[in-house]
Amino acid sequence: MEKIIIEGGKRLIGEINVHGAKNSALPILAATVLTTKRTVIHNCPKLTDIDAAINILEHLGCIVDHTEDCVTVDASNIGGSDIPDSLMREMRSSVVFLGAVLARTGKASFSTPGGCEIGLRPIDLHLFAMSRLGAVVKEDFGRLECECPNGLIGDEIILSFPSVGATENAILAAVTAKGTTTIINCAREPEISDLADFLNGCGAKISGAGEGTIVIEGVKQLAGTEHTVIPDRIEATTYMASAAVTQGKMILNGIIPAHLGPVIPIFEEAGCDISIMGRKLYISAPPRPKRIKSIKTMPYPGFPTDAQAPIMAMTTIADGTSVIIENIFESRYKHVNELSRLGAKIKVEGRMAVIEGVPGLYGAPVVAGDLRGGAALVVAGLAAEGITEIEGIAHIDRGHADFEKNLTMIGAVITRENG
């Protein structure tokens, strides 16, 4: 069993290049299914979730070439419309292939993705969006069978919650549908805008991405394009939290300042000095972070739920008591018990976590239960005195490329061992 070993207490000082965003690259890879022309995706992070998406593309009949951070897809010969259980289980967010496969082939057959460590992860809004565009959806015995024998027809889709995945599936199904689709109360995350930019680069007609209503004029077919994925705002936030817990001084290259708008004030409240020059962010941390009065996770442009765990790790050693309310996922506090093993003092009541800052953490063996919770354990391990051993690091590899390499470059003592 692989594990990460950290000898904490080292100041992190240096420069890091932020990778492309996993949660943007995944829907864009699904979108390549919509065109018979070649597409090239730059700044695609090397992650196990990306590998899983590429496995699905190849299963569907695509020819995929994957070099360092560039993926080229030829989807001229799509033969299949089913994603087998084994591939769905590799990555539950494979459900984002639904809209694209349905639009390209007229049907889609998947196993229902099921829940994961952070919640039940229902897909009712995805299926609602597909049915609004004329798909017939059947769900039984864990299989999802969708068909649209007469093709997809544009219509109005009003989402009861601005679901990121449901918005992405609605866009993917609508871009080549007959007529116009209006998605109301849609997600406004930067990854939605990046997906729209990729598709408009292929000749789609999408307007309003990044706002609460998106209008899509269906086009007959799409061309190819070259696209560069936006930087990963959650990876950047995780590195900022690593600086904040080690009195660090860090430069993050390649960020998009607006995407960090929801988290920068939190680091400033913690006492960090932050300045931005173009696409570089400079962060300099105080000897000890200050407490954060209250954080509520919300849909963008609110505080991102994916940043909740790494920021909680920062508050465990803050000077005072912090309060976090997780409004998006119903069980996204799996990392609390593991942080407590490192000496953190955290009480969870339903969706609220109260973190009483302690002067310091101490190293211990811990287990990552999900991607962002695992990243939070790395942040805490960097702060802790002594040795922290983290198991379950396959979760971390889903969303953080070159994690140990980057942290080592800026002064961390962190290695990966086959335990």
Chain positions 322 to 361 lying near ligand EPZ, rule: CB under 6 A, are 328-329
Residues contacting ligand EPZ: total by CB under 6 A: 23
For 105, phi and psi rounded to 5 degrees?
Answer: -110, -15
Answer whether 310's CB lies under 8 Å from 241's CB.
yes
Choice between 97 and 329, CB closer to ligand EPZ: 329
Nearest distance from residue 175's CB to ligand EPZ, in Å? 18
- Residue 37: count other Cβ atoms within 10 Å of its Cβ: 16
Q: Which residues contact 312 (CB under 8 A, 6 or more apart)?
A: 322, 324, 335, 336, 339, 346, 353, 355, 376
How far apart CA 106 and CA 248 sit, in angstroms, is 53
Q: Which residues contact 419 (CB under 8 A, 6 or more apart)?
A: 1, 2, 3, 389, 391
Instruction: Record the tokens describing residue 53, joined without a space.
Output: 């998406």
Nearest residue to 165 via CA among 92, 58, 90, 218: 92
Answer whether 329's CB lies under 8 Å from 308's CB.
no
**What string marks each residue from 389 to 418 as x (binds ligand EPZ by CB under 6 A) or -?**
----------x-------------------
Active site residue 62: no
**Counting beta carbons within 10 angstroms of the beta carbon of residue 68, is it exposed (0 to 12), middle (13 to 18) or buried (19 or more)?**
exposed
**What string marks each residue from 179 to 218 as x (binds ligand EPZ by CB under 6 A) or -?**
--------x-------------------------------
Using CB under 6 A, which of the segments 76-84, 158-166, 172-180, 339-347 binds ligand EPZ?
158-166
Using CB under 6 A, which of the segments 55-63, 161-169, 198-206, 313-321 binds ligand EPZ?
161-169
Q: Which residues contact 197 (CB under 8 A, 6 or more apart)?
A: 209, 227
Choice between 65 and 161, CB closer to ligand EPZ: 161
3-state class of 100 per DSSP? Answer: helix
Choice between 169 and 176, CB closer to ligand EPZ: 169
Answer whether 71's CB lies under 8 Å from 29's CB.
yes
User: DSSP assignment, residue 113?
Assistant: -
Please provide the size of the chain in residues: 419
Nearest distance from residue 305's CB to ligand EPZ, in Å? 5
Instruction: Record the tokens describing residue 55, joined without a space.
Output: 């496995």
How far apart CA 187 and CA 173 sit, in angstroms, is 16
Nearest distance from residue 115's CB to ligand EPZ, in Å? 9
Choice between 132 and 290, CB closer to ligand EPZ: 132
Chain positions 359 to 378 lying near ligand EPZ, rule: CB under 6 A, are 371-372
Using CB under 6 A, which of the segments 65-73, 156-164, 196-204, 206-214 binds ligand EPZ?
156-164
Choice between 121 and 280, CB closer to ligand EPZ: 121
Near ligand EPZ by CB under 6 A: residue from 8, 45, 165, 224: 165
Nearest distance from residue 167's CB to ligand EPZ, in Å? 8
* Letter string b/e over residues 72-81, b meaning 16 or more CB atoms within 10 A of that residue's CB: bbbbeebeeb
Instruction: Record the tokens describing residue 269, joined without a space.
Output: 């409240």
Nearest distance from residue 414's CB to ligand EPZ, in Å? 21
In the chain, how long is the greatest CA-to-CA distance? Answer: 64
**What string marks each residue from 88 to 127 as x (binds ligand EPZ by CB under 6 A) or -?**
-----x-------------------------x-xxxxxx-
Choice between 125 and 317, CB closer to ligand EPZ: 125
Chain positions 298 to 327 lying near ligand EPZ, rule: CB under 6 A, are 305-306
The catalytic position among 62, 116, 186, 272 is: 116
How far apart CA 337 and CA 364 sit, in angstroms, is 12
Residue with nearest beta carbon to ligand EPZ: 165
Nearest distance from residue 161's CB to ligand EPZ, in Å? 5
Residues that are catalytic: 116
Residues found near ligand EPZ in the complex (CB under 6 A) = 23, 26, 93, 119, 121-126, 161, 163-166, 187, 305-306, 328-329, 371-372, 399
